[in-house]
């Protein structure tokens, strides 16, 4: 089973639309086809961003989403790495993916170094379909 860390932008996209790769990824998590990992900092980031007023995500949907992620995922607390990142606020995702030896799925590729374990949602879905996800 593939182990993944999912960036907040993918979670938000999956909540806002039932179409596209982010929603497919969350379906894979729900069906336990892939295994989600998160840290307490990642969970707090999910909660904070889902609550943005401009997103207009109802409170019950926010709560249900977080509860589902907690129920389906595995929490770990990785050690902070030292590789410089273009956006240090995304370190929590990078370090968690490195700690589990898994894949980081993000819609913000420019926030991370070019590494084979970092994929967009579409790249991840395509690699699974071709049996290539690392």
Domain ranges of the chain: 2-129
Q: Which helix or strand (DSSP H or E) is residue 76 part of?
A: none
Give me the pLDDT at residue 132, please: 61
Please tell us whether the domain made up of 2-129 is placed in CATH 3.40.50.10090: no
User: What local confidence, expressed as pLDDT, does residue 16 receive?
Assistant: 97
Nearest Cα neighbor of 41 from 106, 90, 105, 109 is 90
Task: Return mean pLDDT, the chain.
Answer: 95
pLDDT at position 133 is 54
Helices (H) and strands (E) in the chain, counts: 6, 5
Planar angle of CA 54, 60, 65, nearest 5 degrees = 85
CA atoms of 74 and 29, how far apart (whole Å) = 11
Q: For residues 51 and 73, what is the distance between their CA atoms, to the nearest angstrom?
A: 20
Segments of the chain with pLDDT less than 50 = none
Q: pLDDT value at position 113?
A: 92
Residue 131: its pLDDT value, please? 78
């Amino acid at each position: 089973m593939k182990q993944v860390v999912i960036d907040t932008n993918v979670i938000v996209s999956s909540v806002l639309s039932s179409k596209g790769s982010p929603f497919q990824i969350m379906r894979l998590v729900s069906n336990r086809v892939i295994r989600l990992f998160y840290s307490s900092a990642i969970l707090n980031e999910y909660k904070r961003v889902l609550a943005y007023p401009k997103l207009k995500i109802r409170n019950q949907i926010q709560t249900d989403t977080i509860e589902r992620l907690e129920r389906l995922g595995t929490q770990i607390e990785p050690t902070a790495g030292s590789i410089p990142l273009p956006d240090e606020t995304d370190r929590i995702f990078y370090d968690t993916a490195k700690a589990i030896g898994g894949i980081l799925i993000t819609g913000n590729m420019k926030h991370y170094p070019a590494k084979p374990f970092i994929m967009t949602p579409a790249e991840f879905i395509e690699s699974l379909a071709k049996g290539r996800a690392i």
